[in-house]
Structure 1
Amino acid sequence: MLLLRSLVFQVLFYLSTFVLMILGSPVFLLPRRLGWPLVPFWARVELFLLKWIVGMKVEYRGLENIPQGGYIVAAKHQSAWETFALLPLFPSPTYVLKRELRYIPIFGWYTAKFRQIPVDRGKRSAALAAMTERAREAVAENRQILIFPEGTRRGAGEEPRYKYGVAHLYRSLGAPVLPVALNSGIFWPRRGWCLYPGTVVVEFLPPIAPGLDIETFHARLVEEVETATDRLIDEAAAAAPASPVVRRALQRRADRELQSA
C-alpha cells in the first residue's frame, strides 16, 4: 500500500507539473513579478498531494527568523522535497541550480523566465564568478538566493559535505545568510520509490550577519545546520522508531561518529 500511494503521487506530481506549465504558459507574456504567483501555487499543489495521498505533512519552525529584503538561504538538502516546498515562504526567491536544468523543455524556460541562477559545474572559477555576479544583481533587487551548500542531496544521517560556494557568496555579497535545517530525507529518501507518512520539519535558524571571515562562517554554518538537523532526525526517530529510513539514518550517523572518534 505504501508503494502504491508513493507511485500514485509520483505520477500525479509529474502530471500536475506538466499541466500547470502548459496552462500557465501565458506568464511568459507577463512581467516576472506578475507571473511569479504561478510558481508558489504549483508548490502548494504538490504539498497538498503529498498530504492527502502519502500522508506527508509539514511543520515550519522559526519563521520569525526570516529577514526582509535580499539575503542568502542556505538549506540542508536531503531530498527532492525542499526543491519546491520552500518556495511559498519567500517573496521573490531564485535558486542556484545546475545549468543542465535549463535544457529541460518547458521547465527550463520557466527557470529562465523567473531568472534562476544556473551554474556550470564544469567551469569552476568561471562558474563561481558568473554565479556571484547574478547573485549580486538578485540581492540588489531584494530577492532571496536559495542555495544548497552541499551541492547535491545527502541522505539523512550521512556525513555532511559542505562546499565553499555559499561562503564565497557570503563574503562577496555582504548579505546575511539564513541557515535552514530539515529532516525531509526521513520521509522522502534520496533513493527508492517509497515515500513515508509523517511530518517533515523545517527549522529556520537565526540569520548569520555579514562580516565573518570565510572559515569562521563556514564552520558556524555547518555546526548550526547539522546540529539542528540531527535534532530533527531524533524527533522523527522518536515518533516512528520502526521506520526503515529512520533506522538507516541513525545507523549512518552512528557509523560516522565512530569513524571520527
Structure 2
Amino acid sequence: MTFLRSVLLNIFIVLWTPLVGVPGIILTWFDRSKMKCVTTLWAQGVICAAQKLTGIRYQVLGRENLPDGPFIFACKHQSAWETIAVLMLLDHPSVVLKQELLKIPVFGWYCKHAGMIPVDRAGSSGALRTMMRAAEAAKQAGRPIVIFPEGTRAAPGTQPELHPGLAGLYAFLKLPVVPVALNSGLVWGRESFVKYPGTITVQVHPVIPAGLPRPELTARVHAAINSLEGSQL
C-alpha cells in the first residue's frame, strides 16, 4: 500500500505540473506579477497531495524568527520536499538552484523567469558573476533568498561541510541569515521512490546578523541546520 501511494503521488505531480504550469505560462507571459501565485499554487498542490496520498504532514517551529525584508534562508537539505515547500512557506522566495534544472520542461521555464538564482557547479568566474547579479536583484526586490548550503541532499544523520556559496552570498549581500533544520529525509528519502507517512519538523532558528567573520558564520549555521539530526518523527 505504501508503494502504491507513492506511485499515485508521482502520477499526481506529473499531471499537476503541466496542468498548472502551461496555463500559468500564458498568464504570466502577459502579467509577470502572477508568477508568485502560480508557483505557490503548484507547491501547495504537491504538498497537499503528499499529505493526502502518502500521509506526509509537516509542522513549522520558530516561524516568528523570520524577519521582514530580504534575508538569506539557509536550509538543511535531505529531500526534494523542502525544495517544493519553501515556495509556499516563504513569500515569493528566490532559490539558489543547479543550472541544470533550467533545462526541465515547464519547471525550468518558471525557474528562469521567476527570478531564481542559477549556480554553475563548474564554478567559472562568469557563472559566479551571473549568480551574484541574480542574488542582488532578489535583494533589491525584497525577496528572501533560499540556499541549501550543503550543496546536495544529505542522508539523515549526516552532517556534511557547508559549501562556500553561503559565505560568499553573505559577504556580498550583507544580509542576515536564518538557519533552518528539518528531518524530511526520514519520510521522503533522497534516493528512495517510496514515501512514508510521518510528520516533518521544520525548525526555524533565530536570525544570525550580517557582518560576522566567515568562520563564525559557518560554525553557527552548521550547528543550527543540524540541530534535528538524530530526532525521530
Q: Note the C-alpha offset of 1:175.
A: 0.3
Partner of 2:155: 155
**How far apart are the structure 1 equivalents of 2:192 and 2:184?**
14
Report the 3-state secondary structure (helix = DSSP H, G, I; strand = E; otherwise coil) of the residue aligned with 2:231. helix
**How far apart are the structure 1 equivalents of 2:63 and 2:159?**
27
Q: Note the C-alpha offset of 1:44.
A: 0.9
Greater than 4 Å deviation, 4+ residue runs: none
RMSD of Structure 2 on Structure 1 (CA): 1.4
Q: Note the C-alpha offset of 1:223.
A: 1.2
Partner of 1:177: 177
Q: Percent of pairs identical after alignment?
A: 39
**How far apart are the structure 2 equivalents of 1:79 and 1:224?**
18
2:121 matches 1:121: yes
Q: Note the C-alpha offset of 1:33.
A: 2.4
2:119 matches 1:142: no
Q: Quick check: 2:51–2:57 contact (8 Å CA) kept in 1?
A: yes
TM-score (norm 1): 0.85
Q: Quick check: 2:176–2:209 contact (8 Å CA) kept in 1?
A: yes
After superposition, the C-alpha distances for 1:189-233 in whole angstroms (9 at most, x for unaligned) are: 11121100010111111111001011111111101211x222xx4
- Compare CA radii of gyration and give the structure with the larger one: 1
**How far apart are the structure 2 equivalents of 1:96 and 1:103?**
15
**How far apart are the structure 1 equivalents of 2:142 and 2:126?**
25
2:30 matches 1:30: yes
**How far apart are the structure 2 equivalents of 1:29 and 1:193?**
34
Q: Note the C-alpha offset of 1:168.
A: 1.0
After superposition, the C-alpha distances for 1:77-130 in whole angstroms (9 at most, x for unaligned) are: 000000111211222211111111112222211112211111111134433332
Partner of 2:188: 188
2:38 matches 1:41: no
The residue identity in structure 1 corresponding to 2:180 is: V
Partner of 1:93: 93
Q: Quick check: 1:119–1:131 contact (8 Å CA) kept in 2?
A: yes
**How far apart are the structure 1 equivalents of 2:215 and 2:223?**
12
**How far apart are the structure 1 equivalents of 2:231 and 2:209?**
28
Partner of 2:6: 6
2:227 matches 1:234: no
Partner of 1:213: 213
**How far apart are the structure 1 equivalents of 2:28 and 2:55?**
34
Structure 2: gaps spanning 5 or more residues: none
Q: Note the C-alpha offset of 1:56.
A: 0.7
The residue identity in structure 1 corresponding to 2:228 is: T
Q: Note the C-alpha offset of 1:52.
A: 0.9
**How far apart are the structure 2 equivalents of 1:3 and 1:184?**
18
The residue identity in structure 2 corresponding to 1:229 is: L
Q: Note the C-alpha offset of 1:18.
A: 2.1
The structure in which a higher percent of residues are helix is: 1
Q: Note the C-alpha offset of 1:171.
A: 1.1
Q: Note the C-alpha offset of 1:137.
A: 1.8
Q: Quick check: 1:2–1:195 contact (8 Å CA) kept in 2?
A: yes
Q: Quick check: 1:58–1:200 contact (8 Å CA) kept in 2?
A: yes
Report the 3-state secondary structure (helix = DSSP H, G, I; strand = E; otherwise coil) of the residue aligned with 2:232. helix
Q: Note the C-alpha offset of 1:159.
A: 3.3
How many equivalent residue pairs?
Answer: 233
TM-score (norm 2): 0.95
Q: Quick check: 2:28–2:34 contact (8 Å CA) kept in 1?
A: no
Q: Quick check: 1:117–1:134 contact (8 Å CA) kept in 2?
A: yes
**How far apart are the structure 1 equivalents of 2:200 and 2:32?**
30
Q: Quick check: 1:164–1:218 contact (8 Å CA) kept in 2?
A: no
